[in-house]
Each structure stands twice: as C-alpha cells, then as structure tokens.
Amino acid sequence: MAQRLHLVFGGELVDPQKTVFKDPSKIHIVGIFPDYQSAYQAWKAEAQRTVDDAHMRYFIAHLHRLRDEEAEASPTEELGD
C-alpha cells in the first residue's frame, strides 16, 4: 500500500477571503502525518485554537499527490486563483 503523507500548516492571511500569507516566513508547520485522519485531527486542533482570529487559517496538503506526478489533479486543484 502506498504511503499517503499529509502536511498541516497555517498562518496569518492578508485577507480572510484569499489564501495569501501575510508573512510566509512565519508559516506555522504543525507537522507531517501518515494518514488523513491524523492530519485532520491536527488541523482541527489548530483551527479551533485560532478560531477567534479570522485572519488565521490552517490547511492540509496532500503530499502523496505531489510525489505522484502521473495522477490527475482534482478539479479544485485546477482552479487556481
């Protein structure tokens, strides 16, 4: 079975309606997780911890998709900005 790594990270956004970080050097790397469920739990904990700050946002990146360049991107990945 293929390993499906997930990265959880976040930080302060310039605008809560966009995904542009105010200061990329201050991005908080929560960690890399071996499955979506554990990544989701880490994401949820950080999102709840920062719920009062609308400019703080956390994300889950599917690292296993980056390693498999043969796989098609999802429709949302193709949208861009």
Model pLDDT for residues 17-37, shown as the tens digit of each residue? 999 999 999 999 999 999 999
Residue with tokens 């703080």: 56
- Confidence category of residue 54, pLDDT binned at 50, 70, 90: very high
| Bridge partners, 58 (sequence order) | 10
On whether residue 17 sits in a domain, the answer given is yes
On whether residue 73 sits in a domain, the answer given is yes
**For residues 61 and 36, what is the distance between their CA atoms, to the nearest angstrom?**
10
On whether residue 1 sits in a domain, the answer given is no
Give the total number of structural domains in the chain. Answer: 1
Confidence (pTM): 0.76
CATH number at residue 69: 3.30.70.2400
DSSP assigned state of 26? G
